[in-house]
A and B are shown apart, each in its own frame.
Chain A
Amino acid sequence: MDILDLSIREMRQALEEGRTTPKELLEKALERAKKDDCNAFESILEKEAYEALEGLGKNSGPLYGIPYLTKDNFSVKGIETVASSNILKGYRPLYDATVTRKLKEAGAILIGQTTMDELAMGGTGMSGHLGYTYNPYDPSHKRMVGGSSSGSAAAMAEAVVPFATGSDTGDSVRRPASLAGLVGVKPTWGRISRYGLFPFAPSLDHVGYFTRYVEDAALLLGVLAGHDPHDMTSSHRPIEDYAAYLDGNIKGKTFVRILDIEESLSDKRLLEALDRLSEELIKRGAVIKKERFGKDLLESLYATYIVISCAEATSNDANLDGIKFGPYYEGKTYDEAMRKARTAGFGELIKRRFVIGSFALMKENQDVLFLRAQRNRAKVVARLNELLALGDALLIPAASGVAPEFEAGGDKLSDEYLIADNHLVLGNFGGLPSISLPLAFENGLPLGVSLTLAPFKEGEMFRLASVIEDITGLRGLSVLNRKEGNL
């Protein structure tokens, strides 16, 4: 196994023992990045990465010398950051996102920016301005890696770096993680500062990230979490020693499975693996409960999500007009200039989303659209809390199956499959910590499972997840480090 395939802890150890250097890690990461054939990159920041390496000094931060990738919607000072949208072409932020800054301070080296669904509004990796992002597990490039954090997921599955940032408004970290055999984390709303994250829908937006090891995920939260005076919604709760939770002890812990979600799934292999996982968890002293969420409520998730997220998005993206930044267009009036910039700059999918969102906010419609969706969100969250009161974590498949083919369709609204593939949004509605991680393989393609817990229970989440990781045997997974797993 190559050094890049190790966990961050192991890399740090190798660095300390002189078995490798930050330079070597960087060279290898860049080498792998250049081999990417899945359209994972908006940019490879070779020059900047070497400069950062020079500036490292004798830093002893927890991520000293560790290369990483960032989703193209985190502000990086001086580096063109466009959220995979033409409307931001040429935009060079004047400031670092808090996440960017914290990673820099911890000694991590940014080596590139990853492709995404345009402005994070999508779940397929098909809507970015550079075209489709492919799933590395399918060399024929017929399958998606999911979105919106598509490039981060693809590059992580190619083991370019040990971690990459993402953002998660509906499931934009956790579902791609599932389709690409990765650990994907979205902590509690407010746990990680959103300052510098280009917004999609702030009431649902979360900073998240990808790793290949649960222990790396625990380590990273310790670096990224914490109150930020720039983000009033960031929590003052103390940052915990998340790694200390990884003791393997789940005796008496209760996992709650949601039957009406499982019944919506047709992938036999997935359900079978979930059953086997449950058996193993019981063997280790855990309790499994099977509950029902309520089919009506589950079927309401997608429409509720679309209405709330699109309404917020149409407002958040109203600043994109080509006047202050982004391509400027001449016009006879200011609104003609703005109209030209927005017509040329936005892709067709997100224009449709903006119209939906704006319609939902109109005075005559708010009651039956936006406010109704917000009320329903409250009802869903109340139900979630009831279920979380029954146990420690919800144990749910992270996707409906393996990565779908592009031909199965884009992000068009549909009446079908209302539950499967939409249930991860529960974690966003409730602002709850949620993780997805590899469960098993089906025809060489990964399947994933997810855990969702009560607010600020991240430590517990990593404890439970590391036991699942131990059971599945799927640690450090990538296309370069394939495993079949135990389930």
Chain B
Amino acid sequence: MNFEAVIGLEIHVETKTKTKMFSSAPNVSLKEPNTAVTYLDMAFPGTLPTVNKEAVKNAIKVSHALHMEIDRELHFDRKNYFYSDLPKGYQITQQRRPIGSHGYLDLRTSRGLRRIGIERLHMEEDTCKQLHLSDYTLLDYNRAGVPLVEIVSYPELRTGEEARLYVEAIRNIVVYSGVSDGKMEEGSLRCDVNISLRPYGQEDFGTKVEIKNLNSLKNIEEAIEYEKKRQASLLLLGQEIAQETRRYDESRGETVLMRVKTDAVDYKYYPEANIPPIRLSEDFVKKAIEETPELYDAKLDRYVKMGIGEKEARIILLDPLFASYFEGALIKEATPKEVASFLIVEINSYLNKKNLTIGQLPLKPEAFGHIVAYGPKHGLTHQQTAKILEECLNSGISPEEAQAKLKIVALSSDEGEVKALVEEILRENPESVEAYRNGKDRALGFLVGQAMKKSHGKVNPALVSKLLQEGMK
């Protein structure tokens, strides 16, 4: 019997704002414990929530990117439960009326284009951070109240690959809209998977297993593929799937039982009376959408249209700061393809060597663009330009100074001059010409070498090669 996996994802995204969702304490991730806290965050009696404008804008931006309907009136609810990391004993969320609903994402998967429906996007607040030590737990309230958006897909994903692509697409959206760092490894984007199996053709869902705290795209895909196999083998043995929560053990490549779900927790949702309904004007929603920076997919399209390969474009887009550096370097005189190439190879290797991030690069993007343009303009080869670039980075000097310092001389690209040289070489080496004509490609290299030798390395080898080939036709 063959089984089909039914997969739904719940993604929590910590959004970037100056302050928390419902209080004016700063929203910062790296700070001494309990130094970014105000009255509400520790649930002192009598404190009241006030809704952060920027957090609402962020939710609108992501909702829009996910093709969702945006509710023009905000309503909040309480989710009631006791836990050590929940200061108020309830979490303020949007149960009845999420700000975003009924959206979708298109994914290019190995099974073709797949449209995945998204049920809802709602705003809520994060809990406090727990540090579990050997025999006690410490509570840090800095994270308590950090704005979150939760994005819930319909159970329309079928494979680990699809899930990975879905999360990747959402990460790209939240990162490029400036809404979040989207760092799974640091928990600013968290993903929970619900997965069940059913025989192909069956309508009803099987028993659902939850996999929590998956901290990388790779793990999402692997955990799902493992879980599919695990559940399938149980079903084939005629065993029941237990309703349980599992986690992914990266080292073993397996999902591991965390806890069996007894009766479902009753969160006793009800409306938050401390926040009145908030009407969003068309203008406010429109502005939030318009303020959204260009997103990943739009950038990808644009880069490819500039003549950059898709693979290279995706490398640049791995990091929005990298992409923004790239765009800053696109001056008129430089071709985008060249800029991309120098960025991906030379700049990247410099950053790796020096252990720097793109933000720390001691070269303004525009200056980098000028260096890329400098080479072709002065008849320099790619390698020569690369040497100049390296020198500029190391010494902080201009490309002119670098060229002088490195004694780099422009190679002749004067066709008449080079042609005369090529004819001389062809005359002097008839055996090699013969060999080339007989299919010995290596002879061409020899001839180019002879030409370089004769000219003391002052001609453009690419041009030499081209003219040699023409001469031997």
Listed in ascending order, the chain A residues whose CB lies under 8 Å from chain B are 73-75, 81, 83, 88, 91, 93-95, 97, 194-199, 201-203, 229-233, 311-312, 314-315, 317-321, 323-325, 334-335, 338, 358, 361-363, 366, 370
Contact = CB atoms under 8 A, between A and B. Distances in A.
B379 interface: no
Contact of B44 (A74, A93, A202, A231): A93
A325 B44 contact: yes
In the A-B complex, the 10 residue pairs with the smallest Cβ-Cβ separation, listed nearest first, are A318-B89, A203-B273, A361-B268, A319-B43, A202-B273, A196-B46, A334-B84, A198-B45, A75-B46, A319-B88
Contact of B48 (A231, A314, A358, A370): A231
A390 B43 CA distance: 44
B195 to A, nearest CB: 25
Given A195-B46, A232-B51, A319-B87, A335 B82 contact: yes
A194 B48 contact: yes
B274 A233 contact: yes
Interface in B240-275: 266, 268, 270, 273-275
Contact of A75 (B45, B78, B266): B45
A357 B39 CA distance: 26
Interface of B: 39, 42-51, 78, 80, 82, 84, 87-90, 137, 139, 266, 268, 270, 273-276, 278
Nearest to A371: B270
A338 B47 CA distance: 21
B276 A232 contact: yes
Nearest to A229: B50
From B49, B90, B266, B274, residue with most partner A Cβ within 10 Å: B274
A262 to B, nearest CB: 32
Contact of A94 (B44, B80, B82, B266): B44
Contacts of A203: 273
Contacts of A319: 43, 45, 87-89
B94 to A, nearest CB: 15
Name B's interface SS. loop
A95 B39 contact: yes
A362 B39 contact: no
A361 B82 contact: no
Nearest to B137: A334
B277 to A, nearest CB: 10
13 contacts: A73-B45, A94-B39, A95-B39, A194-B48, A195-B47, A202-B274, A232-B274, A233-B274, A318-B82, A319-B87, A323-B139, A335-B84, A363-B266
From A95, A201, A324, A325, residue with most partner B Cβ within 10 Å: A324
B130 to A, nearest CB: 10
A407 B44 CA distance: 36
Contacts of B39: 94-95
A95 B44 contact: yes
Contacts of B274: 199, 202, 231-233
B384 to A, nearest CB: 63
Given A233-B48, A324-B43, 6 more contacts: A94-B44, A95-B44, A233-B275, A314-B80, A317-B89, A319-B43
A197 B47 CA distance: 8
B45 A318 contact: no
Contacts of A194: 46, 48
A370 B78 CA distance: 14
A320 B44 CA distance: 9
A373 B276 CA distance: 20
A324 B41 CA distance: 11
Nearest to A202: B273
A89 to B, nearest CB: 13
B80 A361 contact: yes
Contacts of A370: 270
Contacts of A81: 45
Contacts of B275: 232-233
A93 B84 CA distance: 22
A302 B450 CA distance: 106
Given A318-B89, A362-B268, A363-B268, A232 B273 contact: no
A422 to B, nearest CB: 21
Contact of B45 (A83, A311, A335): A83
B466 to A, nearest CB: 73
Contacts of B50: 229-230, 232
Given A315-B89, A318-B89, A319-B87, A361 B270 contact: yes
A93 B137 CA distance: 25
A198 B274 CA distance: 13
A248 to B, nearest CB: 37
Contacts of A201: 273
Contact of A324 (B51, B87, B266): B87
Given A318-B88, A318-B89, A325-B44, A232 B49 contact: yes
B44 A318 contact: no
Given A95-B44, A232-B48, A334-B137, A358 B268 contact: yes
Contacts of A97: 46
Nearest to B51: A232
A379 to B, nearest CB: 18
From B48, B88, B89, residue with most partner A Cβ within 10 Å: B48
Contacts of B268: 315, 358, 361-363
